[in-house]
Amino acid sequence: MRALVTGGAGFIGSNLVDALLERGDGVTVLDDVSTGRRENLSQAFERGAELVQLDIRDAGAVADLCSRAQPEVVFHLAAQIDVRKSTADPAFDARVNVEGTINVLEGARRSGARRLVNTSTGGAIYGEGRTIPAPEDHPVAPEAPYGQSKFCAEGYCELFGRMHGISTVSLRYGNVYGPRQDPLGEAGVIAIFCGKLLEGGKPLIFGDGLQTRDYVFVSDIVSANLLAAESGVTGAINIGRGEEVTVVDLVEVLDGLSEDGFSAEHAPPRPGEVRHIALDASRAREELGWSSQVALSEGLERTLASLR
């Protein structure tokens, strides 16, 4: 299979690129390398992957690349993912996440791609969980422009399906963690804590630490993408474990993995932070055949091992 991975030099994207190459697929990576890293693709280059450095806001460049690469499947992971940056500059966030997605959809359509797998977000779209775990029909109530732009991008994916017949699916991730993650944005808390543990520091908890998230190991996210690429399922699909994990829980598990102990310091709570969320992945199990395989303790141990 010929695959185009936007954002393929990033944390999740590079792990997906490795999995595609491992099974013998041809891979072209589109990334502006603003947050992604070339070194994430060092093994991929040895296996024949190509990196094209460009910005998804450049419609002409995206169209030209799609025309040249002729991908059968496009995995769209390139995005502006920093919640705080989206709040400070919502127009920039929309240009990347909405306009950029439109450019990728148009490139995929023109080049004849059979499928586009779009990366989206669960918690940031649903906002505060009214039903936990939250199903896909949970009320949409983003608390930051990032969630709003990702929801809008989902709508364009479905629109292109209706208008042009291109098959699309949007995977709404929980909080993804694992090897190669940068401590960027809220989802980077595990990367930050693991770094603190290894340097002998103390993790900083905002508020009481009882806020909950649904943490999913990156290999489970990769498997969801591969299954979605071969499926005909459309619309939004949650990809999560359905388990609420507190920040205090994270510290306790890491403390058990530390030789010298790992205790937290507290700071005032951050305004506007979602208090509780977890994702109902029933649709993913029933329609994709996907379920999470990596428990939190194993995932944290593997993440720490990758940093040592």
Q: Please give the full DSSP string across 30-74, using - where no structure is assigned.
A: EE--SSS-GGGGHHHHHTT-EEEE--TT-HHHHHHHHHHH--SEE
Q: Would you name the residues annotated as active-site residues?
A: 146
pLDDT at 184: 52
Residues 10-65 pLDDT 10s: 999 999 999 999 999 999 999 999 999 999 999 999 999 999 999 999 999 999 99
* Burial label, 169 (beta-carbon count in 10 A; 0-12, 13-18, 19+): buried
Identify whether 250 is part of a domain.
Answer: no
143 and 149 in contact (C-beta within 8 Å)?
no
Beta strands 212-213; 245-246: pairing state: antiparallel
* Burial label, 8 (beta-carbon count in 10 A; 0-12, 13-18, 19+): buried
Identify whether 7 is part of a domain.
Answer: yes
Identify whether 126 is part of a domain.
Answer: yes
Mean pLDDT on 187-209:
91
Domain around 166:
2-174+215-240
126 vs 123: CA distance, rounded Å? 5
76 vs 100: CA distance, rounded Å? 10
In the chain, how many domains are there? 1
Domain with residue 80: its CATH number is 3.40.50.720
Answer whether residue 76 shows pLDDT above 60: yes
Answer whether residue 275 shows pLDDT above 80: yes
Residues 215-273 pLDDT 10s: 999 999 999 999 999 999 999 999 999 999 999 999 999 999 998 899 999 999 887 77
Identify whether 32 is part of a domain.
Answer: yes
67 vs 100: CA distance, rounded Å? 17
Identify whether 52 is part of a domain.
Answer: yes
Residue 187's pLDDT band (boundaries 50, 70, 90)? low
Identify whether 114 is part of a domain.
Answer: yes
Identify whether 185 is part of a domain.
Answer: no
Identify whether 162 is part of a domain.
Answer: yes
Query: Taking the alpha carbons of 35, 226, 73, 170 in that order, is the dihedral positive or negative?
Result: negative
Residues 79-128 pLDDT 10s: 999 888 999 999 999 999 999 999 999 999 999 999 999 999 998 999 99
213 vs 70: CA distance, rounded Å? 38
